[in-house]
């Protein structure tokens, strides 16, 4: 009997115009999103390769270590292959950071900053389609699941037979959910085939694992709205009431809670603006420069150049040693202070972000966004880890360039040696492991599972007492 | 056989929709229940089918207590409701196939469905039509076909002739007579006193949830139907 109910539910949905419309729309949207995702990724890859090559060329063409110290090293963020399905925040955050001895590095040159029109509507990726379009369809498929049968008179007719209510709602839930998955699964499989056959796109085993988890999150998210639809449908007497109520809940979940959570977090845990932080860093830089000038003047006053040509070589050597130590000390002070300012700022930012994330997690839409971004390595966490790796690299580079600069100092004038980059420390960044990403999304999985259980049990209990008249 | 014993229903708002109904519909009998809107006919049917729990009393179908063992008792009853729209995107065949499966009949073939649909007067070219394109009368016929194919010993019909044209209504009454001759107990709620008198073996009149009058076919033959209609079928807005 359960099989008959499931089969009927699938047939009834598939033969309805709303299914045909949903299927066509989802197929078009998903295929367009994968296609544009691939194109964006390839364009990003090209830009990345070009930027890396240009940086290398720039480094090679520097005349001295002094100019290299000023210009610094440009570090580019490598595009993620899974951005083809979940673009995340990667288009909004910077792609490149300059590491030099003076300034604290920061990621700049985001895609949105280079062309703000992209920021107006955001990206059409799979997460957006599932979050907005398919969740709406989940509501469209379920708002009349129970109450619609009552209005049609088919509920009475079905229950005049030896049909247990629990089996009827279970059959309707399974059949309805399978029907809802068809517009997602078929186009998504097509999209994955495109991903597989497209040149220059290669997915590792871990990427496939991540994709599977992204798909699991999609399923969980849609299940939340599906069971919610069943629940509301089994609590209302008119399908129009059910639809309006569901629409209200959908708007609250998808748009209001996430925005309100961010605003509330901003009010509860305010943070200083980026300009204030930059001003603090600049002020300290000026302070250090002043201190350095004074110390240098003082030192050279005491350490006058000898007249004896035999002593000049020794004097030069002493000066070089002192300058190297002095430069290292000053830059270390600057780096330490900047790091302290940054640490304090990041602690506040992180506190605010955590609060915003945790508040907004009440909404399954936020849980979906955070989890899929983490899995695709296009989220805020990955961006912060990358930025942090650059800031860790900064003192390493500074130490190296100071050493090189001072050792190559020619106090008697003449040609400076051209930089040798073979032993230059390289920036290293290891992406978050699969296990860490999974741990990060675990709260989202639990939250959605709890909502699904709550809504389904609610629907189950409500239907067992539902007035079929 | 369908039997109601002291069947009573008082809703949450305090309205007593059915007041200690005692009734027995024997095998091979057609019982027609008359009454104005709100008299308690549909409440009685909802209780017969366990759609709502009774406040008091119980219902027996072939001796099985519907309140105690609803799933078992439902094997012995078919139901035709007043406004069945069925699954609009399904054809007549698909609708009857689904409800036949729910009724537990798994060995029936397409021909069996076709025969029953023909028997209730549904045109053959409508068998594969989506029921959303059916007229009310066609849907009603299909609903009756779904009830007949279950082959239960008891049939409960809620205003079954309300959507039928005069000819279909007449054919329907003939069909009911045939079912009675097959030994079915038939309980029908209706407003159509003039048409029902041709098939009813007994009739009952309800007012304010009470069965106020019972008449046999013979007793009804001598009555002034117009007078009965005016007396018992007018609306009682207080119910």
Cβ distance B94 to A157 less than 8 Å, yes or no, reads: no
Chains A, B: CB contacts under 8 A, how many?
Answer: 77
Specify the pLDDT at position A224: 94
Contact B102 A158 (CB under 8 A): yes
Q: How far apart are CA A28 and CA A389, in angstroms?
A: 40
| Residue of B77, B89, B95, B150 to mutate, testing the A interface (most A Cβ within 10 Å of its Cβ) | B89
**Alpha carbon distance B162, A154 (integer Å):** 18
3-class SS letters over chain A: CHHHHHHHHHHHHHCCHHHHHHHHHHHHHHHHHHHHHHHHHHHHHHHHHHHHHHHHHHHHCCCCHHHHHHHCEEEECCCCHHHHCCCCCCCCCCCEEEECCCCCCCCECCHHHHCCHHHHHCCCCHHHHHHHHHHHHHHHHHCCCCHHHHHHCHHHHHHCCCCCHHHHHHHHHHHHHHHHHHHHHHHHHHHHHHHHHCCCCCCCHHHHHHHHHHHHHHHHHHHHHHHHHHHHHCCCCCHHHHHHHHHHHHHHHHHHHHHHHHHHHHHHCCCCCHHHHHHHHHHHHHHHHHHHHHHHHHHHHHCCCCCCHHHHHHHHHHHHHHHHHHHHHHHHHHHHHHHHHHHHHHHHHHHHHHHHHHHHCCCHHHHHHHHHHHHHCCCHHHHHHHHHHHHHHHHHHHHHHHHHHHHCCCCCCCCCCCCCCCCCCCCCCCCCCHHHHHHHHHHHHHHHHHHHHHHHHHHHHHHHCCCCC
Pairwise CB contact (< 8 Å): A157 & B72: no
Q: Which residue has the higher pLDDT, A342 or A116?
A: A342
Tell me if chain B has a CB within 8 Å of the CB of A465.
no
Chain A residues within 8 A of B87 when measuring between CB atoms: 8, 12, 152, 154
* Banded model confidence at residue A121, pLDDT cuts 50, 70, 90: low
Judge whether A152 is closer than 8 Å to chain B, CB to CB: yes
The shortest CB-CB distance from B52 to any of A4, A15, A467 is to A467
Band the pLDDT of A401: cuts 50, 70, 90: confident
- A19-76 pLDDT, tens digit per residue, is 888 889 989 999 998 888 888 888 888 888 998 899 888 888 888 888 888 888 888 8
Residue B165 pLDDT class (50, 70, 90 cuts) = confident
Q: Residue B10: phi, psi to the nearest 5?
A: -115, 125
A11 touches chain B (CB under 8 A): yes
Q: What is the pLDDT of residues A361-395, one digit of tens each?
A: 888 999 999 899 989 888 888 888 888 888 888 88
Considering only CB atoms, which chain B residues are within 8 Å of A158?
Answer: 99, 102
How far is Cα B127 from Cα B108, in angstroms, rounded to an integer?
A: 16
Residues B40-60: tens digit of each pLDDT: 888 999 999 988 889 999 999
Edge-to-edge strands, sheet with B202-207: B77-80, B154-158, B185-189, B29-35, B202-207, B210-216
- Confidence band, pLDDT 50/70/90 cuts, at residue B237: very low
Q: What is the pTM of this model?
A: 0.83
B238: pLDDT strictly greater than 60: no
A175-217 pLDDT, tens digit per residue, is 999 988 888 889 888 988 888 888 878 888 888 999 999 999 9
Query: Cβ contacts (< 8 Å) between B82 and chain A: which residues?
Result: 153
Compute the distance between CA of residue B120 and CA of residue A426 in angstroms, rounded to an integer. 86
Edge to edge, what strands does the sheet with B16-25 contain? Answer: B16-25, B2-10, B56-61, B64-65
Question: What mean pLDDT is predicted for residues B119-147?
Answer: 86
Chain B contact for A156, CB < 8 A?
A: yes
In this prediction, residue A368 carries a pLDDT of: 92
Give me the residue from A1, A16, A469 closest to B51, CB to CB: A469
Average pLDDT, chain A: 86
Tell me if B74 and A161 make a contact (CB, 8 A cut-off): yes
**pLDDT tens for residues A283-325?**
888 888 898 888 888 888 887 777 787 788 788 888 878 888 8
Which chain A residues have a beta carbon less than 8 Å from that of B42? 469
Read off the pLDDT of residues A254-275 as tens digits, 9 standing for 90 and up: 889 888 888 898 888 888 888 8
Residues 41-80 of A with CB under 8 A from B: none
For residue A119, pLDDT over 70 is answered with no
Is B74 within 8 Å of chain A by CB? yes
A235 close contact with B: CB closer than 8 A = no
Which residue in chain B has the smallest CA separation from A154? Answer: B86
Nearest Cα of chain B lies from the Cα of A171 at a distance, in angstroms, of 12
ipTM above 0.85, yes or no: yes
A12: nearest CB among B46, B84, B90: B90
For residue B132, the SS3 value is helix
Query: Quick one: pLDDT at residue B229?
Result: 72
B189–chain A nearest CA distance, Å: 16
Taking contacts as CB-CB distances below 8 angstroms, the residues of chain B near A4 are 98, 101-102
B residues 158-217 near A, CB within 8 Å?
none
Contact A161 B46 (CB under 8 A): no
Q: Is B167 exposed, middle or buried (0-12, 13-18, 19+ CB in 10 A)?
A: exposed
Nearest residue, CB atoms, A1 vs list B102, B150, B156: B102
């Amino acid at each position: 009997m359960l099989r008959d109910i499931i089969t009927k539910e699938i047939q009834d949905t598939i033969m309805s115009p709303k299914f045909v419309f949903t299927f066509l729309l989802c197929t078009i949207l998903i295929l367009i999103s994968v296609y544009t995702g691939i194109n964006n990724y390839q364009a990003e890859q090209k830009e990345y390769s070009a930027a890396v090559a240009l940086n290398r060329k720039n480094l090679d063409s520097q005349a001295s270590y002094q100019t290299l110290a000023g210009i610094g090293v440009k570090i580019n963020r490598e595009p993620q292959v899974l951005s083809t399905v979940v673009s995340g925040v990667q288009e909004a955050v910077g792609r490149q950071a300059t590491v030099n001895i003076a300034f604290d590095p920061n990621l700049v040159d985001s895609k949105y900053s280079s062309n703000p029109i992209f920021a107006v509507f955001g990206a059409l990726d799979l997460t957006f389609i599932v979050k907005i379009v398919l969740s709406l369809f989940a509501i469209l498929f379920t708002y009349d699941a129970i109450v619609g049968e009552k209005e049609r008179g088919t509920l009475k007719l079905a229950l005049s037979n030896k049909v247990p209510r629990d089996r009827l709602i279970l059959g309707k839930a399974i059949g309805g959910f399978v029907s809802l998955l068809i517009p997602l699964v078929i186009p998504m499989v097509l999209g994955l085939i495109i991903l597989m056959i497209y040149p220059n796109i290669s997915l590792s085993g871990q990427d496939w694992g991540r994709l599977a988890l992204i798909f699991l999150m999609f399923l969980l998210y849609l299940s939340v709205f599906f069971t919610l639809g069943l629940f509301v449908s089994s609590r209302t007497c008119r399908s129009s009431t059910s639809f309006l109520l569901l629409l209200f809940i959908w708007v609250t979940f998808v748009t209001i809670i996430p925005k309100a959570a961010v605003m509330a977090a901003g009010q509860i845990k305010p943070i200083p603006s980026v300009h204030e932080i930059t001003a603090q860093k600049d002020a300290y830089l000026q302070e250090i420069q002043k201190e350095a000038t004074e110390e240098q003047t003082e030192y050279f006053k005491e350490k006058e150049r000898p007249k004896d040509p035999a002593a000049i070589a020794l004097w030069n050597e002493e000066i070089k040693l002192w300058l190297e130590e002095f430069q290292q000390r000053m830059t270390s002070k600057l780096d330490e202070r900047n790091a302290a300012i940054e640490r304090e700022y990041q602690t506040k930012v992180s506190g605010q972000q955590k609060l915003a994330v945790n508040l907004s997690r009440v909404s399954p839409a936020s849980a979906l966004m955070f989890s899929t971004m983490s899995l695709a390595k296009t989220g805020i966490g990955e961006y912060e880890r990358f930025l942090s790796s650059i800031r860790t690299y900064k003192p390493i580079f500074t130490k190296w360039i100071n050493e090189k600069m001072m050792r190559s100092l020619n106090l008697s004038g003449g040609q400076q040696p051209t930089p040798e980059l073979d032993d230059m420390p390289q920036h290293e960044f290891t992406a978050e492991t699969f296990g860490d990403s999974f741990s990060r999304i675990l709260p989202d999985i639990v939250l959605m599972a709890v909502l699904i259980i709550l809504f389904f049990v609610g629907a189950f209990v409500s239907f067992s007492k539902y007035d079929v008249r | 056989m369908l039997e109601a014993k002291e069947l009573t229903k008082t809703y949450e708002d305090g309205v007593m929709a059915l007041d200690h109904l005692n009734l027995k519909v024997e095998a091979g009998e057609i019982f027609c229940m008359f009454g104005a809107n709100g008299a308690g006919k549909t409440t009685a049917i909802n209780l017969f089918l366990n759609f709502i729990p009774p406040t008091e009393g119980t219902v027996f179908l072939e001796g099985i207590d519907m309140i105690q063992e609803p799933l078992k008792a439902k094997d012995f009853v078919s139901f035709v409701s007043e406004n069945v729209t069925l699954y609009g995107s399904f054809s007549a065949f698909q609708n009857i196939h689904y409800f036949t499966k729910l009724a537990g009949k798994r060995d029936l073939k397409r021909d069996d469905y076709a025969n029953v649909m023909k028997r209730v007067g549904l045109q053959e070219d409508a068998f594969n039509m989506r029921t959303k394109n059916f007229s009310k009368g066609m849907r009603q016929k299909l609903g009756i076909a779904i009830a007949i194919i279950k082959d239960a010993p008891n049939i409960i019909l809620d205003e079954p002739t309300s959507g039928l044209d005069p000819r279909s209504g007449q054919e329907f009454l003939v069909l009911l007579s045939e079912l009675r001759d097959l030994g079915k107990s038939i309980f029908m709620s209706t407003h159509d006193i003039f048409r029902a008198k041709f098939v009813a073996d007994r009739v009952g009149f309800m007012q304010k949830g009470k069965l106020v009058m019972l008449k046999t076919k013979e007793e009804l033959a001598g009555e002034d139907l117009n007078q009965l209609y005016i007396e018992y079928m007018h609306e009682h807005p207080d119910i």
